Amino acid sequence: MLTLTRTALRRSFALLVLLSLCVAPVALAQPQGPTATPMPPDPFVVTQTTALLPATVGDLAGAKAWDRYTIIAALSPGERRVRGTVTVTVTNRASRPYERLYFHLYPNHPDFGGRLDVTGARLDGQPVVSGTEQGDTLIWLALPRPLPPGGTVRAELSFVARTPRNGSADTFGAFNQEAGLWSLANFYPILARYFADTGWDRRPIDSQGDFVVSSTALYEVTIDAPTDWTLISTGARVSATAVTDSVRRERFVSGPQREFYLGATQGRAQVSTTVDGTRIVSHYQTNHATAGRKALRVAEQALRVFNARYGTYPLAELDVVESALTNFFGMEYPGVVLIEQTLYAANASDFEVTVAHEIAHQWWYSQVGNDAQGEAWLDEGFASYSQVLYYEGIAAPALATDELNFFREEFSASRRRGRDAPLATPPSGLDGMYVPVVYDKGALFFHSLRAQIGEAAFSRFLKGYYSEGRYRDVAGPDLLRAAETACACQLTQLYRDWVLTKAPVRIP
């Protein structure tokens, strides 16, 4: 996310073609031996190739590490209602048996101003005992018998979601129907993360931080929608067929992703381009054509810079969507970024950094995942520092310095008021200093790291941290290890001062 505080200071491929491209890498993942019979390709996994670049379909060899979601839903924009079922094939990858499964029902958080009601739940086809916690933002399903490590169960939940209309002034604008966009972020139950030490993530949600904490999964999603609405989603469309004269059925696959974003637009315009094999689409209001084209240009530059600096964005598509967010500038979802409409209208200077920041989250959140409710600096600090790397990458060093100065000034001002904290502080412990600590101090940590280990090691760190962390859930010590590997040096003092304690760090 990019918050508003800055203002205070100033393709689809033809499936058959891809089947022939992808069978080899997927089949390679199957056990092979002198007596083994090669397993046929898994159709669920094979279909996922549509969402990925041809060069990255081999990533699906790791599909056994990810749970699978199948969502079937129908949109009723007039009633602002989504009705559907989600089936999640859950594998216990922990070292302890599961007694229950937990799913987040994010739209029941008061900030959403809407609802997500589960109307039925089954495990392996059988009705189950269930209950909710944390103000209905969590639902648990009791397993009839403990699910042992390595075991798999199929959870099926029927749901009805309802969003506000024109609610962005008072609620979370990404779950809202306004200005030609019906944005349906988090519209379905999302399996909670299971932490090795503390078990299921049952914490109350602190809405200073980003909501979603989830692990990489594969999604196959079928949506029935009125033909006069255009769908935007994570991943790629694999088919579109007419159900009736007024209803169209579209099927999407996500590739390995942490959540599935869905939006529907009416009366919007779009422009697109292709960068390093990824198709970028900018969706905008028809009276914002100049800014809509600029959003595409910035996204194109950002993708090119970050692909070179971090490693390739593995997906075939990326959408940039003008949105009524009102209380924040931008929000990231896998394969989709939402940008506040007033930035388009004013063509403001914050427009470019917001687009670059949200696109950087495709690496730092979507691909390399972290606990946004625990260590928000890992993705927000990195996405903020990416604003600096973006300007460096497009040969605009003065603007890169402006970004750094902005972080320096905002963090210094906060610290002068006594508002400083270790980067590792969870959002719930950062009242009144979430932005200066997580975004500004977080960005400055990366600059300090760069100064200490030098350009060559910092470049190795960026690539190594991404390739090691891709699709995984990382924590601070993983970042420390990646940096120490890159520099072949010890960084425990730097890490302790910035991340673990409130030492009076020198602002770089």
**Contact positions vs Zn ion (CB under 5 A):** 1, 380, 383
Query: In whole angstroms, how close is the CB of 373 to Zn ion at the nearest point?
Result: 14
Sequence length of the chain is 508
Q: Report the b/e string of 181-198 with b at 16+ CB within 10 A.
A: bbbbbbbbbbbbbbeeee
Shortest distance, CB of residue 431 to Zn ion, whole angstroms? 19
Nearer to Zn ion, 380 or 440 (CB): 380
Smallest distance from Zn ion to CB 361, Å: 6
Written as one letter, the residue type at 295 is A
Which residues, other chains included, contact 380 with Cβ-Cβ below 8 Å and sequence gap of 6+?
Answer: 1, 210, 438, 439, 442
262-265, strands of its sheet edge to edge = 175-178, 181-184, 262-265, 230-233
Q: How far is the CB of 60 from Zn ion (least distance, A)?
A: 28
CB of 357 to Zn ion, least distance (A): 6
Closest CB to Zn ion among 26 and 174?
174
Which is closer to Zn ion, CB of 176 or CB of 362?
Answer: 362
- d(C-alpha 256, C-alpha 465), whole Å: 18
370 vs 414, beta carbon nearer Zn ion: 370
Residue (434 or 458) nearer to Zn ion, CB: 434
| Distance of closest approach, residue 358 Cβ to Zn ion, in angstroms | 7
DSSP string, 183-228: EETT-S-EEPPEETTTEE--PPPPTTS-S-----EEEEEEEEEETT
Round to whole Å and give the CA distance between 4 and 83: 33
Six token digits for residue 239 = 């088919």
CB atoms within 10 A of CB 45: 20
Residue number with CB closer to Zn ion (1 or 457): 1
Please report which helix (H) or strand (E) contains residue 366, including its range: none
Between 220 and 380, whose beta carbon lies closer to Zn ion? 380
Question: In the bound complex, what is the minimum distance in angstroms from residue 291's beta carbon to Zn ion?
Answer: 20
